[in-house]
Amino acid sequence: MSPATYRIAIVPGDGIGPEVMAEAVKVLRLVESLLKESRFELVELSIGAGEYLRSGEAIPPGTLDRMRQCSAILLGAVGIPEVRLPDGTEITSQIDLREQLDLYAGVRPVYLFHAHDSPLKRCRAGSIDLVIVRENTEGLFSSRKRPRRPAADVVEDVMHISRKNSARLFHYAFRLARTRRGEVTLVDKANVLPSMAFFRSVFDEVASQYPDVRTRRIYVDAAALYLIQAPQRFDVIVTENIFGDILSDLAAALVGGMGVAPSADIGDRHAVFQPAHGSAPDIAGQARANPTAMILSVGMMLEWLGTPELVRAGQWVRDGVRWVYGNPVNRTPDLGGCLSTAQMGDLICEAVERVARGDWDAA
């Protein structure tokens, strides 16, 4: 049987995006060389602040359609602080993609590979293992293109919560919890905001369909506290768009920061895989960027593509990263080490190959 070909959009973006993407492609090509049933056709596309400067369009015409024709999309990072739209906001094409491709679940796994990398005391490797599932298409971000100006010197942003978008998000979180430790924590602000009380009522309805999954409901301020005090207690966290935006950076800090925080924006038909970090203009072009988050996002993509062979390949990537991070010398400058972006990418490739060939058993 001839191998199946998966068309993958490669979208490097701005800042450190192209640097971390180069390492992701290296890993993807290495994985491909180890597979029997799957091949990847890579299609390079350009979006973001650099593209806006070049062509006047952050997402050029036809680009979304080309993305829709791909099996999955890999995105580096978008945004350059000096490049602003006329209303003063930055180019945020990643948010446009979530809205236009209807990628309602922002999935952000947070895993501690080595005790050394956490600012918390007494956390052993693997003890922090949670996933934040963030609503991606509405919430407080929904009015970003339609701000309300009730008076000349007043601007309002609206928290928009709909039953449809909340329910499908919660179903995603419950299904995910079933593949993990079986618990979902809802994070909201139902004690103050009517929109959040509604969000919670939809959660309760959906929860009743998953009697096998344990649930907790906590307010977002308490969630920030508990994430620092006892992150080990969380399995799947599901939350509104801006709460997820903030808490996922906080949670990433618990395991070493943005350089090791992957993410996936998932819908029913399309999905974008990108590191949780931004374009990090402060370190762009210096070979200091940590490519691990981007590479772990490749692993998430392989698992999402879903054939048994690709699911296994996704696990090779994750286990390869675990193997590299098992030795605290193997670190880029964000984690106190001196490896360059490419050296980290090479080490992870070497480890993925060893895992795939059975030289290292993660269990």
Q: Which of 227, 293, 313, 351 binds ligand ATP (CB under 6 A)?
A: 293
Among the residue ranges 25-33, 52-60, 126-134, 289-297, the one whose residues contact ligand ATP (CB under 6 A): 289-297
Q: Which of 128, 159, 289, 295 touches ligand ATP (CB under 6 A)?
A: 289
Query: What does the H/E/C string look like for the chain?
Result: CCCEEEEEEEEEECCCHHHHHHHHHHHHHHHHHHCCCEEEEEEECCCCHHHHHHHCCCCCCCHHHHHHCCCEEEEEECCCCCCECCCCCECCHHHHHHHHCCCCEEEEEEECCCHHHCCCCCCCCCCCEEEEEEECCCECCCCCCCCEEEECCEEECCCECCHHHHHHHHHHHHHHHHCCCCEEEEEECCCCCHHHHHHHHHHHHHHCCCCCCEEEEEEHHHHHHHHHHCHHHCCEEEECHHHHHHHHHHHHHHCCCHHHCEEEEECCCCEEEEECCCCCCCCCCCCCCCCHHHHHHHHHHHHHHCCHHHHHHHHHHHHHHHHHHCCCCCCCHHHCCCCCHHHHHHHHHHHHHHHHCCCCCCC
140 touching ligand ATP, by CB under 6 A: no
Using CB under 6 A as the binding criterion, the count of chain residues that bind ligand ATP stands at 15
Q: How far is the CB of 184 from ligand ATP (least distance, A)?
A: 25
Which C-beta is closer to ligand ATP: that of 223 or that of 344? 344
12 is a site residue for ligand ATP (CB under 6 A)? no
Which of 52, 220, 334, 351 is in the footprint of ligand ATP by CB under 6 A? Answer: 334
**Minimum Å distance from CB 129 to ligand ATP?**
21
Question: Of 12, 50, 76, 79, which one interacts with ligand ATP (CB under 6 A)?
Answer: 79
**Nearest C-alpha neighbor of 29 from the set 40, 14, 13, 44:** 40
Which residue has the closest beta carbon to ligand ATP?
A: 278
Quick check: 80 binds ligand ATP (CB under 6 A)? no
The single residue among 274, 279, 297, 330 that binds ligand ATP, judged by CB under 6 A, is: 279
Nearer to ligand ATP, 79 or 345 (CB): 79
Q: Which of residues 15-74 bind ligand ATP (CB under 6 A)?
A: 16, 20
Q: Does position 277 bind ligand ATP by CB under 6 A?
A: yes
Which is closer to ligand ATP, CB of 206 or CB of 347?
Answer: 347
Least distance CB 51 / ligand ATP (angstroms)? 16
**Does residue 301 interact with ligand ATP by CB under 6 A?**
no
Which listed residue (185, 263, 290, 330) binds ligand ATP by CB under 6 A?
Answer: 290
Binding site for ligand ATP (CB under 6 A): 16, 20, 79, 258-259, 277-280, 282-283, 289-290, 293, 334
